[in-house]
């Protein structure tokens, strides 16, 4: 019987100057919501965390996160985070109440604006976060994809392109 272990292959050394885990540059990227969890903020309130997976090169597969404090004691911060989470909610075409951020996981592609920030405790550490989220498709298209995937269990929409609406009778030249 064959076995396989640490000594059975040649380890590849990381490429000098590798950017594999360097922060993603500020910009807009195509992404999907790929995860959601709830964690405790140091101030004691819960925070919702969404994970976005980039779907465009050269950062395909890289993940960025954003945290939303929906019960923050700071009313301005609480409303800001609710509005930011609402952008994601609308962008993926949700219309029902959710109890957990994992219910926002969706294959509907969105446009995310990724920004960098420097750690307050260690200025050598630079992180990414999602500043805002916009839909890539019209609300009608997003709703159609969501309806198709919920009414036909097991169906996975791997790629979907919005179709332009039919022209009105005044736009047809004959």
Residue-wise pLDDT for 32-62, tens only, equals: 999 999 999 888 889 999 999 999 899 999 9
Instruction: Tell me how far apart the alpha carbons of residues 22 and 11 are, in angstroms, rounded to a whole number.
Output: 22
pLDDT number for residue 119: 84
Per-residue pLDDT, averaged over 117-145, amounts to: 78
Residue-wise pLDDT for 82-113, tens only, equals: 999 999 999 998 888 889 999 999 999 999 99
pLDDT score of 70 more than 80: yes
Q: Which domains does the chain have, with CATH numbers?
A: 22-138 (2.40.50)
Average pLDDT taken over every residue of the chain: 78
pLDDT number for residue 66: 93
């Amino acid at each position: 019987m064959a076995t396989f272990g640490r000594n059975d292959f040649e380890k590849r050394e990381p490429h000098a100057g590798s950017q594999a885990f360097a922060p993603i540059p500020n910009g807009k990227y195509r992404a999907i919501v790929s995860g959601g969890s709830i964690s405790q903020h140091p101030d004691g309130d819960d925070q919702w965390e969404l994970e976005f997976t980039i779907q465009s090169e050269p950062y395909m597969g890289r993940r960025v996160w954003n945290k939303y404090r929906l019960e923050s004691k700071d009313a301005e911060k609480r409303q800001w985070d609710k509005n930011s989470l609402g952008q994601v909610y609308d962008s993926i075409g949700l219309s029902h109440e959710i109890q957990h951020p994992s219910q926002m996981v969706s294959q509907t592609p969105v446009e995310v604006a990724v920004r960098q920030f420097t750690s307050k405790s260690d200025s050598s550490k630079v992180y990414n976060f999602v500043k805002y989220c916009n839909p890539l498709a019209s609300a009608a298209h997003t709703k159609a994809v969501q309806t198709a995937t919920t009414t036909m269990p097991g169906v996975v929409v791997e790629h979907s392109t919005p179709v332009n609406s039919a022209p009105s009778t005044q736009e047809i030249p004959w």
